[in-house]
Chain A
Amino acid sequence: MEIVATQDLDVRLSLDLYRGMLQLRDFELKVQELYRAGMLPGFVHLYVGEEAVAVGVCASLKRYDLVYSTHRGHGHALAKGVTGREVMAELWGKQTGCSGGRGGSMHMFAPEYGFMGTNGIVGGGIPLATGAALAAQLRNSGQVAVSFFGDGAVNSGSFHESLNIASVWNLPVVFACENNLYATEMAFHRATKNTGVASRGVAYNMPSVEVNGSDVHECFRTGREAIDRARSGGGPTLIEFKTYRFLGHHEGDPGTEYRTKDEVESWKRRCPIKAFRDKMISSKLASERDFEQIQLETDAWLEDAVQFSKSSPDPDPSTVLDFC
């Protein structure tokens, strides 16, 4: 996906944001289908429901900016510009995947797109993003680093130590918390007495803001402001995106033992993609036909990624010790 946010929230940008979200959604649903059919090895954590965050934030990043992601990271990779082919092929463990089949879902790396890794360790990427921002500052490279993480990470030492360091050194990093209310099965309100992640920024004397993570325009505006601040020497920002995963923690977890059906349904009614489309149509900024066209193009994009991955070769077993 290539979104060039040179203009403000005009129609073209809005349709690009929509396309981005749709790609992430349909990609994940296809992964679910392939996984259930037994075609993909390993484990997958799907991003369905949270698309507005990755797409909204990454729209303001340049290719040389850096994203550090999580275990639920396919969406971040796609939003940062990694091709559907390379992400899908990696999930398939193929040689053509972005990590050559060495990484899989939780270890996808594509530095050529500024995508510095999904991560199997909750909170693991937060200090890395902070360090990347230190290097950007020292080298005067103009880069901004974005660290995505979930509510599950914010009670960890990694979160605290990284935000503290980023603040005291005024580093160009954006801490993007996707608060989807559950760390695996643990409800956030059962894990902490302070469920306002943004309020924690005060502890680090860091600008912090809470955002409706289902509203891609809001995600875009807030993300852009934080990215601009970082790039212009204004230091780090903590953004809490209130969001929700429509599916279980990982594919195979129904996600129903610790969440009520009513709760899940209420969030699905606020689906970021549908809400955005309805808003665009009702305000006559776009037509049904525009969206049908985007759907057709997305279908073709996805089919291409699947066919590419399916027909790609496995890695050569004799390379197992390469890069050791």
Chain B
Amino acid sequence: MREITYGEAGVEALREEMARDSSIVYIGQGIGPRGGNFRQTRGLWKEFGDHRLRDTGICELGETGVAIGAAMNGCRAVVDEVFLDFILEAMTQVVQQAATIHYLSNGKIKVPVVIRGAMGSVRNAGAQHAHSFYSWFAHTPGLKVVVPATPRDCKGLFKTALRQDTPVLFIEHKALYNIKEAVPTEEYLIPFGEASVRRSGKDATLVAVGRMVHVALEAAAALDRDGISVEVIDPRTIAPLDRKTIVDSVRKTGRLAIVDEAPSMCGFSAEVIAFACEQALDSMDAPPRRICSLHAPNPFSPVLEDQMLPTSTKVAHEIRQLIAA
């Protein structure tokens, strides 16, 4: 099977869906002739033209609201914030409008909008281009939240997102655009709410999304050399969330840890531990652990940022502590 990058997988998903569904319009900054800051729309402008690839000025609030409005009137809209960090300019449209309209209209108005942005730290971009606040959106009723970790998932989940009738936050990771994986050429969709067990294991359950899936897998490989068997679970979508796969795994391994690029305070890691304890505390042999970014804005200095972010070394260390407990 041919290998393509995470970024190319997203482009393929878009190309296939835009060809299939003429109602899709794509709105964002630099997504036309330039093909996207992350090359996330490369080649599409030539194929689909100005009408469907709508370059805007720098106006996240306006362009996001426009996408939502278009989705209320028969289009399927994608708005690309490019850096997820920039969605903060548009949060009122996401949370107050997109997320509520279907419910408040008593189901009469559908809002098929995909709100796309890339999160996380990459190449020491500095605090304002490195946020990982993806879990905020899962806190808001009415939004689906997708956090793909691999090229194959990126394509399959993006295609599913482009067929939803409700708003979807499609949150890629900036540092993953160039990773490669074998991706099927034939069409496939990946349903929301189905976790992927990235690696089977029996001694501990390790949950991660986005780039941290790769950190978790590196740690698991290192631990395996020491005879510690870690099960790595990637929920892929955090709303809806596949709680069952995580709880079943904890019942099997008796130990739970989460590695998260976001801080632990009120984060996705807190939610995972909360429901795991609610549903499987009696199976736990040790208190669960969170391995998260430290509670600070991302610092610029590589030395400082490395100190702040979870690494596979830190994860392996924490899992050893968890097993010893």
**Chain A contacts to B: CB under 8 angstroms:** 66, 68, 98-100, 102-103, 107, 109-112, 116-117, 119-121, 124, 126-136, 138-139, 141, 143, 145, 157-158, 160-162, 164-165, 168-169, 322-324
Among the interface residues A131, A135, A161, which one has the most CB atoms of the partner chain B within 10 A? A131
- The number of residue pairs between A and B whose CB atoms lie closer than 8 Å in the complex comes to 144
In the complex, are the beta carbons of B105 and A131 less than 8 A apart?
no
CA–CA, A6 to B223, complex, Å?
Answer: 78
- What is the interface of chain B mostly: helix, strand, loop, or mixed? helix
Chain B contacts for A121, CB-based, 8 A: 92, 96-97
Of B69, B102, B142, the contact of A128 (CB 8 Å cutoff): B69
Q: How far is the CA of A138 from the CA of B102 in the complex (A)?
A: 22
15 residue pairs of the A-B complex, CB under 8 angstroms, read A102-B104, A107-B100, A109-B104, A127-B65, A129-B69, A131-B65, A131-B66, A132-B70, A134-B54, A135-B73, A135-B77, A138-B23, A141-B73, A158-B65, A162-B62
Knowing that A99-B106, A127-B61, A132-B70 are A-B contacts, what are 4 other residue pairs whose CB atoms are under 8 Å apart, sorted by A's residue number?
A109-B109, A116-B72, A139-B75, A161-B61
| Shortest beta-carbon distance from A239 to chain B in Å | 19
Please determine whether A164 and B59 come into contact, CB atoms closer than 8 angstroms: yes
Chain B residues closer than 8 Å to A158, beta-carbon distance: 61-62, 65
Query: For the complex, what is the distance from the CA of A286 to the CA of B96, rounded to whole Å?
Result: 47
Find chain A residues with CB under 8 A from B23 CB: 138-139
Residues on B with C-beta less than 8 A from A161 are 59, 61-63, 65
Among B54, B93, B104, contact of A127 (Cβ-Cβ < 8 Å): B93
Q: Which residues of A contact B56 (CB under 8 A)?
A: 165
Of A103, A124, A143, A323, which one neighbours B92 at CB under 8 angstroms? A124
| Residue B103 interfacial (CB < 8 Å) | yes
Of all A-B residue pairs in the complex, the 9 with the closest CB atoms, nearest first, are A131-B69, A127-B65, A161-B62, A100-B106, A109-B105, A128-B69, A131-B66, A135-B73, A323-B107
What's the nearest-Cβ distance from chain A to residue B155, in Å? Answer: 25
In the complex, chain B residues 68-107 whose Cβ is within 8 Å of any chain A Cβ: 68-75, 77, 89, 92-93, 96-97, 100-107
Check if B69 sits within 8 Å of A107, measured CB to CB: no
Q: Are A103 and B104 interface neighbours, CB within 8 A?
A: yes
Please determine whether B74 and A141 come into contact, CB atoms closer than 8 angstroms.
Answer: yes
| B25 interface contact, C-beta 8 A | yes
Q: Within the assembled complex, what's the spacing in Å between the Cα atoms of A100 and B97?
A: 18
Q: Is the CB of A323 within 8 A of B106?
A: yes
Asked if B104 and A138 sit within 8 Å, CB to CB, the answer is: no
Instruction: Check: B57 CB closer than 8 A to any chain A CB.
Output: yes
Residues of A within 8 A of B145 (CB): none
Partner of A130, one of B52, B57, B65, B77: B65
